[in-house]
A and B are shown apart, each in its own frame.
Chain A
Amino acid sequence: MGRLFWALAVVFAVASASFFLLAALPGDPARIVAGPQARPADLVRVRKDLQLDRSIVARYGLFLKKLVHIAGDPKASEHASCERVIPLVRGYELHIDLGRSYQHRAPVAKVIFTRYPRSMALAIAGIVIQLLIGVTVGSIAAAKKGTWIDRFLTGITSLGVSAPTFLTAVLLQYLFAHRLRWLPLDGFGDTFLDHVRSIALPALTLGLYGAAYFARLTRDELITLMSQDFVRTARAKGTSRLRAFVVHGLRGALLPLVTAAGLELGSLAGGAAVTESIFRWPGLGHLGVEAVLNRDGPMVIGVVFVAASTVVMATAAIDIFGHWLHPLAREKSSE
């Protein structure tokens, strides 16, 4: 219960902090909406339409009041920008209202909840590739510890983490989409198969970047575990090397790997802005960056809100997973 309260508090603090941070930024959102050549009289009109003529305190009050509320009459026009979350008894509903985007002129909640699954899909695909490459490379490196294969593999993965993602992205796009024509250049696609094909390159971009960390983690964990007594005993009893590796080694490395993957998921939840923009993947990342540049306050807060919620949820999920996997950890962490 304390955890849940704390999770909500973090999300609330992050959303409020971004509200005031955005309000403090130089630049006038109405000017960006109206365009560089708009005249003062028309700017007044646009400012009023965006409710920017109200004081910051009034706007914050409104934001808080609407953020999570219970609607008695969900069809009412005041709930037009809400995302319905849970239907309650007798027609009452629990709503999330993140306001309306200045730039999109649409409910932030609606825009974000369409894009959020796509961002998560990309994040998860990226992490899967990171894990695939990382665990494979890490295991081989651990098995061939100290040889040139070990050094070569860890070196290759370090190269991935050393290149800016937009360089990797452009190279991958050129090679696999333009030259070889195996995969689409960009976009989201219309059918499920299209989505899978379209996600491949952005996911690979993220995967190459993050793989080094997982490779290192797997290698270190495996080397530590394999030198421990119970594995040696098993080996002495005639367990094959491969079996010892998989059963004892990889299983032991599971918790740190899952923990790292969970944290990575959290950090990718706000979207991978650069990768998304190069491959035109319609997720949250590019949306958030554009929103900051355009001073689209409600949209930024929305992205931050969703991203922070994901981080908090991922952290909680790791904890639960850890407890389930390692009952011992429960005692340690309650210390």
Chain B
Amino acid sequence: MFSTRKASLLFALIGVLGCDIALPAPLPVGHPADDTPRAGGTLRFASLGDVRSIDPARCNDGVSSSLVRFLFAALIEFDEQGKLVPELAERWEVLDGGTRFRFFIRQDVRFHDGSPLTAEDVKRSLERALHPDTPNPSASYFRNVVGYDLYADKKVPHLDGIEVEGSHLLSIRLTSPDAAFLPLLTLPPARPVCKSAGAQFADNWAPCGTGPFQLRDGGWSKGQFVRVVRNPMYFVPGLPHLDAIEMHFLMNPPTQRFKFEVGELDFVRDLTHADTIRFARDRRWQDAIARGPDLDVYGESMNTEMPPFDNVEVRRAVAAALDRKAFTAVRPLHLSVNTATLPQSMPGVDATFQGQTFDLEKALEHMRRAGYPFDPKTGQGGYPKTISYLVYPLGIHEKTGQLVQQQLSRIGIRIELRLVSWASYLSLSQRQGAVAISPQGWQQDFPDPSGVLDPLFSSTSINATESSNSAFYRNPALDSMLARAHTEFDPERRKDIYRTCNRILVEDAPWAFTTSLHSFEIRQPYLRGYTPHPVHSYNFARTWLDRSTTGTPSSLGPRR
């Protein structure tokens, strides 16, 4: 008796969850007709993840870098079109054939503590971030700076390659010309920090920089929230408009949506699959949704040193056998088909180039050429052994991996998914001879092809235990072209080089390129002046809040 009663109760409850979850209308805007920014207010958003650090000297994940941008300005920065523009440096010069970069630093910049920014501060900040005792996970990006090795070995007290030429004039010298050096200066380690940071990293330093917002005591509680407040001395007059930004960590997607609906969050990005679709299909929300920056390129990395993927024909077969459209259905609004090395948003990408395309007949032909003919009708033939596919739990790859398994079974490649923890996945997939095939992704640090292609496919990135080149792909022709691209300062010729690289990689297929991931952002319309940034998440420097004071949800109920 009671069991049926209870079962029906449960179904009723779940039914309530399912049917009664219609989207509410966006919250009203205070002054829709008036485009003048209004000062004040606290912008609130949340993230499913957490940040590990907001010290620019040891910051590595996407969310932290966005947060670091609130607090720390850079010499130069990418604008909303993905172009490098002056920030703390008014202008710069490229000298000595691309081995010397000179920066003319603004005279009117003050740190959060009130002291003026000088060239000496820029040098000190870089030296602090690159100091051998600083646990900086990206220090070696700057290894091309003159004197880096001596400094990293503690042979010299200063980095010779960073020269202070005047109170606001600074030069950086490189050992060899590098056309991809400037973007590095937008990375966290190159962002100037206050004198209180000292010459070396320390855990208890209170973050202090030149950015539009500053951190006060108690503003950061790890795993819970961070609150940054307006920097009244910010060097761009009139900015920022917001009084403060609050970011909450480790918040579940359903909770984020519930809070967003009633205006307790103003901006959401980490919604569930279903909720994202709901917002995207709702006419009332059309002006408030945006495709965010490209985050990752995804592909199936095939270990070119391990059978059967040491055979280029097998790799080509895999590249042709994957129906990438089916992959995107896993997260239709976040994944796009990507058939070549670089995401479409990357400058210099040839939009007309087809890349690796899905063609089952061609895939079977490649299998035949590889010596593993497969008859789809009988299921006979193909590669005789079962291949283990390394994947980690609870992400997109756990789902797409199952599609890879189904799709490759059509050409006679039998795959078994091996689910291991994220920690094991990282260790194993970058170890020589350990994993034949695994899903891989790469998050661009800056929009330049070198930032993706060098670590993934150059043979210099091969390492016995920590190989970012997880396919262990070696191609001298590609290596020399990647090296040449660094010395080529002419943008058009540089693009040409990368186009050739792209073709080589598509043809040789160390990866079967599949999709690219971008974020999908939804904001309440009262969050105004927001433009998605091609590189950085949470581009709130110029936004303002224009909430209608009447009928705000806080008057509806006692929540909070």
Contact with A along B414-443 (1 / 0, CB 8 A): 000000111110111000000000000011
Asked if A42 and B423 sit within 8 Å, CB to CB, the answer is no
Q: Which residue of A lies closest to B456 (CB)?
A: A37
Among A40, A41, A151, A184, the most chain B Cβ lie within 10 Å of the Cβ of A40
Asked if A293 and B250 sit within 8 Å, CB to CB, the answer is no
Q: Which residue of B lies closest to A101 (CB)?
A: B222
Q: A171 to B133: give the CA distance in the assembly, Å.
A: 49
Asked if B224 and A188 sit within 8 Å, CB to CB, the answer is yes
Partner of A27, one of B137, B251, B258, B424: B424
Contact with B along A23-64 (1 / 0, CB 8 A): 001111101111111111111011001100000000000000
Q: A185 to B265: give the CA distance in the assembly, Å.
A: 13
B347 beta carbon closer than 8 Å to chain A? no
Q: A170 to B203: give the CA distance in the assembly, Å.
A: 37
User: Beyond A27-B423, A28-B426, A186-B251, is A35–B17 a contact (Cβ under 8 Å)?
Assistant: no
Contacts of B428 in A (CB 8 A): 26
Contacts of A295 in B (CB 8 A): 423
Partner of B136, one of A26, A45, A175, A186: A45
User: Beyond A155-B2, A186-B255, is A42–B223 a contact (Cβ under 8 Å)?
Assistant: no
Asked if A35 and B60 sit within 8 Å, CB to CB, the answer is yes
Asked if B254 and A170 sit within 8 Å, CB to CB, the answer is yes
User: Beyond A27-B427, A151-B2, A277-B250, is A39–B140 a contact (Cβ under 8 Å)?
Assistant: yes
Q: Which residue of B lies closest to A155 (CB)?
A: B2
Kindly identify, within residues 153 to 191 of chain A, every residue whose CB is under 8 Å from any CB belonging to chain B: 155-156, 159, 170-171, 173-175, 177-179, 181-182, 184-186, 188
User: Beyond A37-B455, A155-B2, A174-B17, is A181–B52 a contact (Cβ under 8 Å)?
Assistant: no
Q: A42 to B468: give the CA distance in the assembly, Å.
A: 13
Range for the number of chain B residues in contact with chain A: 35 or more
Partner of B132, one of A45, A105, A182, A286: A45
Q: Which residue of A lies closest to B559 (CB)?
A: A181
Smallest Cβ distance from B296 to chain A, in angstroms?
Answer: 10
Q: A179 to B251: give the CA distance in the assembly, Å.
A: 19
B139 beta carbon closer than 8 Å to chain A? yes
Contacts of B91 in A (CB 8 A): none
Contacts of A35 in B (CB 8 A): 60-61, 137
B115 beta carbon closer than 8 Å to chain A? no
Smallest Cβ distance from B16 to chain A, in angstroms?
Answer: 8
A243 beta carbon closer than 8 Å to chain B? no
Asked if A40 and B423 sit within 8 Å, CB to CB, the answer is no
Q: A135 to B554: give the CA distance in the assembly, Å.
A: 39
A248 beta carbon closer than 8 Å to chain B? no
Q: A308 to B432: give the CA distance in the assembly, Å.
A: 40
Number of interface residues of A (CB under 8 A): 55
A104 beta carbon closer than 8 Å to chain B? yes
Partner of A173, one of B20, B53, B224, B255: B255
Smallest Cβ distance from A170 to chain B, in angstroms?
Answer: 7
Asked if B60 and A38 sit within 8 Å, CB to CB, the answer is yes
Asked if B6 and A185 sit within 8 Å, CB to CB, the answer is no
Kindly identify, within residues 79 to 118 of chain A, every residue whose CB is under 8 Å from any CB belonging to chain B: 103-106
Smallest Cβ distance from B45 to chain A, in angstroms?
Answer: 15
Kindly identify, within residues 86 to 125 of chain B, every residue whose CB is under 8 Å from any CB belonging to chain A: none
A282 beta carbon closer than 8 Å to chain B? yes
Contact with B along A282-307 (1 / 0, CB 8 A): 10001100000111000000000000
User: Beyond A37-B443, A105-B203, is A155–B135 a contact (Cβ under 8 Å)?
Assistant: no
Contact with A along B461-475 (1 / 0, CB 8 A): 101011010000000
Q: Which residue of B lies closest to A25 (CB)?
A: B423
Contacts of B216 in A (CB 8 A): none
Smallest Cβ distance from A24 to chain B, in angstroms?
Answer: 12
Contacts of A25 in B (CB 8 A): 423
Q: A28 to B465: give the CA distance in the assembly, Å.
A: 11
Asked if B426 and A27 sit within 8 Å, CB to CB, the answer is yes
Contacts of B222 in A (CB 8 A): 104, 106
Asked if A42 and B258 sit within 8 Å, CB to CB, the answer is no
B558 beta carbon closer than 8 Å to chain A? yes
A280 beta carbon closer than 8 Å to chain B? yes
Contacts of A293 in B (CB 8 A): 421-423
Kindly identify, within residues 208 to 228 of chain B, every residue whose CB is under 8 Å from any CB belonging to chain A: 222-224
User: Beyond A33-B52, A181-B556, A184-B560, is A40–B255 a contact (Cβ under 8 Å)?
Assistant: no
B259 beta carbon closer than 8 Å to chain A? yes
Contact with A along B440-484 (1 / 0, CB 8 A): 001101000000000100000101011010000000000000000
B274 beta carbon closer than 8 Å to chain A? no
Contacts of B224 in A (CB 8 A): 188, 280, 282
B369 beta carbon closer than 8 Å to chain A? no
Contacts of B465 in A (CB 8 A): 40
A152 beta carbon closer than 8 Å to chain B? yes
Contacts of B138 in A (CB 8 A): 38-39, 42
Smallest Cβ distance from A286 to chain B, in angstroms?
Answer: 8
A258 beta carbon closer than 8 Å to chain B? no
Q: Which residue of B lies closest to A43 (CB)?
A: B466
Q: A108 to B252: give the CA distance in the assembly, Å.
A: 25
13 other A-B residue contacts (CB within 8 Å) besides A45-B139, A155-B6, A293-B421:
A25-B423, A37-B443, A39-B461, A45-B135, A49-B133, A49-B135, A170-B254, A171-B17, A173-B258, A178-B258, A181-B557, A280-B255, A293-B423
Which 4 pairs show the lowest CB-CB distances between chains A and B? A27-B423, A181-B557, A155-B2, A49-B135
